[in-house]
Structure 1
Amino acid sequence: MRGRRLGPGLALLAAVAPLAAAAQSPDPFGNRLGGGLPSPSITTPDLPPSQPEGEATLSLSALLSGIGQPLRSGLVWRIYEDRTDGVRPGIVARSTDAAPTFKLAPGAYVASVTYGFASATKKIAMSGQPATDTLRVAAGALKLSGAIGDTRIAPAQLSFSVFVPIGTNSEGRLVRSGVKAGELLRLPEGTYHVVSTYGESNAIQRADLKVENGKVTDATLNHRAATVTLKLVTSPGAEAFAGTAFSVLTPGGDTIREAIGAFPQVTLAEGDYVLIARHDGQVYTREFKVESGLDRDIEVLAKAG
């Protein structure tokens, strides 16, 4: 059978027919194309946010100098502009991560890390390429406590102040006051003067302590003191008068402590004292002695003469 040549209209119909059939088949996403149903939309895949041109990452970490132990907590990082025009450099970025990463434009910077009262800085140049660097911190720590003889003093009753000696002045520069017993105080290596106060009066001890790089100096300051309870009574062992005003003086007349109440407690360094009690317009006195570690009542007898 001789073939027939298709006319122009039949050729167009033959070309369209396969497409029409395909339009009724399911697509890979489970939708049917054609038939008046909307076609699936084409979306652009999520892309990471664009990074400003020239920026690169700077990754930092810190070590204890000497021993090379990584520091993994208690760090504060700051990145400054490295200015040469005399203007105070501004902070570009900061972080408290152990190993932070910063995005920085090309330029000169100063990286700073503080670890308690110790710190380290380093100049860093960024040229548009990722960089990694390590800062070494020369630091140790103090851990303080107090005792009377072999008896530990309750931490709540102690307070410490730490100084850097300057010349012959042991308290040349205050590093920190109000340090609690058992607290870990991070410091640059060096020698420090520590003042320990037991109670709220004159029970004070001092010591010079050395902080070594990478080590904790655990020191106990031994006090020679006691806590006395003050009372105004009509006879030994009798009930104390409420609302009595007490003054504790040295034998030379210097006031050490004042308190009001029926039986206030006062912590005092060992030694000799004069106690004055005032009640209802009357004044009563007695001398007493404080012996280290001997807590006791100090009674003043309210009697004429």
Structure 2
Amino acid sequence: MAGPMARRLGRLAIAGLMAAALLLAALVSPAGAQSLQFLGTPPSAAPQAGPFAPPPSGPPRAIVPGGGAGAREPHGVLPASPPGKAALGVFARFSADGPVIPRGVIWRVFADKAETSGAFPLVAESAESAPVFFLSPGGYIVHVSYGLASTAQRVTLGPVSRREAFILPAGGLRLEADVENKTIAAQKLTFDIFEGSFLQGRTSTQPYYRGAGAGEVVLLPEGTYHVVSTYGDANAVVRADVSVQPGKLTDATMHHRAAQVMLKLVKAQGGEAQADTQWTVITPGGDTIKESIGAFPVFVLTEGDYVAIARNGGKNFSRDFKVDAGHDQEVEVLVK
């Protein structure tokens, strides 16, 4: 699990704790939310089940089978509690009348009174879909997260066991991209997800989720998101607004107008590429798009006109070239 997956899981665990801090601040102490701390080690987050492109290529699909609020709810019967304890059975729904979330939820129970250090003690945690906590009577804040979606509520537990349902409106977003109806390899793509609608002029300036991979399912609170898809590492970027619905998996395909270009500096057409060449790709207007050093640099460029400038042996050589969407090519710059 090392590498990108470990970093994503680390981001999800941090996002869950940040959400818990904000929600506890609203429920417990309106002032000084930024200074709230928590005791205890959180469990690892569950794995993630991620010109303008058109809307998603297909309608959202249900993540789990349907089932209304009365359909086989958990904790119809709670187990007996140890002496001095009461059972608290919890579960989460996608909506008030939607299905129970069957997996991927993380539960944390905090005492609702801070210690002298200002931290709210973490008293219990679970990665089960519908856990039962045996707690002493008193007040608690129960926080549940599902991917990047989370909610919390205060629960006062007396001597009698009880169950509590949580509403967690969230859905999944899975992203892909293509060029001329040909799927782009996942390793050449990244997606940044922003809250809000770019088309309506209401989008956040910082990504809500950065670096989602192609085919990765990113679990998000319901709402509208603005997706920025980057193909390669130059200027092949497209944007689109997508909608996430509770309990649904939305598949969205971003359509790029770009191609891959390999550059070579040669003494004669079809000749050997010259090593230690410095490359700059610019627009006809002089804007720098990408720079590189090597005999065979490869760039992914959005369709349009460009100038390739090669510097070797203290001399500059250049060539104009055109990029057509979906047509990868090799561009030779002649030493003259």
Q: TM-score range by the shorter chain?
A: 0.7 to 0.9
Aligned-partner Cα distance in 1 for 2:137–2:274? 77
Q: Do residues 132 (structure 1) and 163 (structure 2) align?
A: yes
Aligned partner letter, 1:273: Y
Deviation at 1:206, TM superposition (A): 0.0
Give the match for residue 32 of structure 1.
none
Aligned-partner Cα distance in 1 for 2:115–2:92? 29
Q: Do residues 189 (structure 1) and 219 (structure 2) align?
A: no
Q: Do residues 105 (structure 1) and 136 (structure 2) align?
A: yes
Aligned-partner Cα distance in 1 for 2:226–2:255? 15
Aligned-partner Cα distance in 2 for 1:100–1:81? 17
Q: Is the 8 A contact 1:82 1:108 kept in 2?
A: yes
Aligned 1:59-208 pairs, distance under 5 A = 59-66=89-96, 68-83=98-113, 89-165=120-196, 168-208=201-241
Spell out, residue by residue over 1:3-32, the C-alpha distance to the aligned partner (whole angstroms, 9 max, x if none).
Answer: xxxxxxxxxxxxxxxxxxxxxxxxxxxxxx
Deviation at 1:147, TM superposition (A): 0.4
Spell out, residue by residue over 1:207-259, the C-alpha distance to the aligned partner (whole angstroms, 9 max, x if none).
Answer: 01111111111000000000001000111111111221111112222221112
Larger RCO (alpha carbons 8 Å, 6+ apart)? 2
Aligned-partner Cα distance in 2 for 1:85–1:200? 49
Q: Do residues 240 (structure 1) and 270 (structure 2) align?
A: no
TM, length-normalised to structure 2: 0.71
Deviation at 1:198, TM superposition (A): 0.3
Spell out, residue by residue over 1:135-158, the C-alpha distance to the aligned partner (whole angstroms, 9 max, x if none).
Answer: 121011111000011111111111
What percent identity do the matched residue pairs reach? 44
Taking only aligned residues, the RMSD between alpha carbons, in angstroms, comes to 2.1
Q: Do residues 281 (structure 1) and 314 (structure 2) align?
A: yes
Aligned-partner Cα distance in 2 for 1:262–1:253? 23
Aligned-partner Cα distance in 1 for 2:279–2:202? 35
Q: Is the 8 A contact 1:202 1:256 kept in 2?
A: yes
Aligned partner letter, 2:295: A
Q: Is the 8 A contact 2:115 2:121 kept in 1?
A: no
Aligned partner letter, 1:281: G
TM, length-normalised to structure 1: 0.78
Q: Is the 8 A contact 1:66 1:213 kept in 2?
A: no
State which drifts further: 91-100 or 226-235: 91-100
Aligned-partner Cα distance in 2 for 1:69–1:165? 26
Q: Do residues 253 (structure 1) and 286 (structure 2) align?
A: yes
Give the match for residue 29 of structure 1.
none
Q: Is the 8 A contact 1:139 1:186 kept in 2?
A: yes
Structure with the bigger percentage of strand: 1
Aligned-partner Cα distance in 1 for 2:189–2:92? 33
Residues 92 and 85 (structure 1), Cα distance of their counterparts in 2 relative to 1, 3 Å cut: closer
Deviation at 1:260, TM superposition (A): 1.7
In structure 1, stretches of 5+ residues that fail to align are 1-49
Aligned partner letter, 1:60: V
Q: Is the 8 A contact 2:264 2:273 kept in 1?
A: yes
Spell out, residue by residue over 1:28-75, the C-alpha distance to the aligned partner (whole angstroms, 9 max, x if none).
Answer: xxxxxxxxxxxxxxxxxxxxxx95x52222121122115522222211
Deviation at 1:273, TM superposition (A): 1.0
Structure whose CA Rg is larger: 1
Aligned partner letter, 2:87: T
Aligned-partner Cα distance in 2 for 1:261–1:277? 10
Give the match for residue 248 of structure 2.
215
Aligned residues: 253
Aligned partner letter, 1:213: P
Give the match for residue 265 of structure 1.
298
Give the match for residue 85 of structure 2.
55
Deviation at 1:176, TM superposition (A): 0.8
Please state whether the residue corresponding to 1:292 is helix, strand or coil. Answer: coil
Spell out, residue by residue over 1:176-230, the C-alpha distance to the aligned partner (whole angstroms, 9 max, x if none).
Answer: 1110001111111110000000011100000011111111110000000000010
Residues 146 and 277 (structure 1), Cα distance of their counterparts in 2 relative to 1, 3 Å cut: same
Deviation at 1:268, TM superposition (A): 0.4
